[in-house]
């Protein structure tokens, strides 16, 4: 009889998102957690705090904090949140140089200590950071994915619920493209209780456009309100859903930043598209039929992603 082996999850970055990821991973019993950060005491303190909560909740997962990359060895899944958050007035793209420097170091160490892992990246600017990690490590592209579309869709679902008065549990939404100002919410593929959003009683094009625009600025709206940080609860929740799909081989359909080899006409970029996510990471990119207008919007977003990739080359982060 094969011995049972608990999954190991390594979290790189013990900030707001990383700390919430650690808590959620333990609460959902996804496996044993290693929380890494370069700041001494930060991951150890958060790990100890969470560990002290496990007796109250009747949980037995182990969680440890560390400043040493060697402790991530053997991880089944690595989730990367390391990087600087946005400040008011900053775009995700403004973070490129600083966070590319951080990601370069992270990538080298993950490749050294956890070369067989699946990797989920949350750091911004998302599409560029996923691309950079992939190029530095040379990991199979299906095993590297970015958390973007599930978060953007969750924001879209929230705003649809606010507008319609319907529970978010009965709302489905799809958002494609780069995780930036030109992301592409798709009302035609969004449903309220099975009813296409444009056909929902009382819905107007003006209302849809307002929800689409608020979705595109969903992260920026939170940054402006917080003033000293960026969103962390929703990004952590989105990443945990994707982590479950990978660790439990659930074969779920998400919109996620995935490597393109000709799909939708794109090559050598990571951009959020519909995928089947399972134990092998991105198991398939699903090509859906878009209208000319939807495809044009996605192409526009892809240009932004391509420009970020070219900026990484110009800054000599990649060749």
Catalytic (active-site) positions = 179
Q: Tell me how crowded residue 23 is: count the other CB atoms within 10 A of its CB.
A: 18
**240 closest CA partner among 6, 13, 8, 26:** 26
In angstroms, the CA 70 to CA 129 distance is: 22
Q: Report d(CA 76, CA 239) in Å as an integer.
A: 15
Helix 149-164, helix 218-226: angle, nearest 10: 80
Q: Give the separation between CA 212 and CA 251, rounded to whole angstroms.
A: 28
For 81-204, list the strands marked E by DSSP.
118-121, 144-146, 171-172, 175-176, 184-185, 191-192, 195-196
Separation of alpha carbons 142 and 283, rounded Å: 7
**Rounded CA gap, 99 and 9, in Å?**
22
CB count within 10 Å of CB 315 equals 12
Identify the burial level of 291 via C-beta atoms within 10 angstroms of its C-beta, where 0-12 means exposed, 13-18 middle and 19 or more buried. exposed
CB 113 within 8 A of CB 73: yes
* 104 Cβ contact list (under 8 Å, min separation 6): 132, 136, 317
Give phi and psi for 104, each to the nearest 5.
Answer: -60, -45
* Cβ proximity of 287 and 255 under 8 Å: no
Q: Which two tokens stand for residue 199?
A: 């056909």
């Amino acid at each position: 009889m094969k011995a049972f082996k608990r999954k190991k999850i390594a979290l790189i970055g013990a900030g707001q998102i990383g700390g919430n990821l650690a808590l959620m991973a333990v609460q959902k019993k996804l496996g044993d957690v290693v929380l890494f950060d370069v700041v001494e005491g930060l991951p150890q303190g958060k790990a100890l705090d969470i560990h002290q909560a496990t007796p109250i909740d009747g949980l037995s997962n182990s969680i440890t904090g560390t400043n040493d990359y060697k402790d991530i060895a053997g991880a089944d899944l690595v989730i990367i949140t390391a990087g600087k958050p946005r400040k008011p007035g900053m775009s995700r793209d403004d973070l490129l140089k600083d966070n590319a420097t951080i990601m370069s170091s992270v990538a080298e160490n993950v490749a050294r200590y956890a070369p067989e892992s699946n990797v989920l990246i949350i750091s911004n600017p998302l599409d560029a950071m996923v691309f950079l990690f992939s190029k530095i490590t040379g990991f199979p592209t299906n095993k590297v994915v970015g958390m973007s579309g599930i978060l953007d869709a969750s924001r879209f679902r929230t705003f649809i619920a606010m507008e319609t008065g319907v529970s978010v549990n009965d709302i489905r939404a799809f958002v494609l493209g780069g995780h930036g100002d030109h992301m592409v919410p798709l009302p035609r593929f969004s449903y309220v209780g099975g009813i296409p959003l444009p056909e929902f009683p009382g819905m107007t094009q003006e209302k849809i456009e307002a929800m689409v625009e608020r979705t595109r600025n969903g992260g920026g709206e939170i940054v402006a309100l917080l003033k000293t940080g960026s969103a962390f609860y929703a990004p952590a929740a989105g990443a945990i859903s994707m982590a479950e799909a990978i660790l439990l081989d659930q074969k779920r359909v998400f919109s996620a930043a995935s490597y393109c080899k000709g799909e939708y006409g794109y090559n050598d970029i990571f951009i959020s598209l519909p995928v089947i996510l399972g134990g092998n990471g991105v198991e398939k990119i699903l090509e859906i039929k878009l209208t000319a207008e939807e495809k044009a919007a996605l192409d526009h977003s892809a240009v932004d992603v391509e420009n970020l990739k070219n900026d990484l080359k110009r800054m000599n982060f990649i060749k």
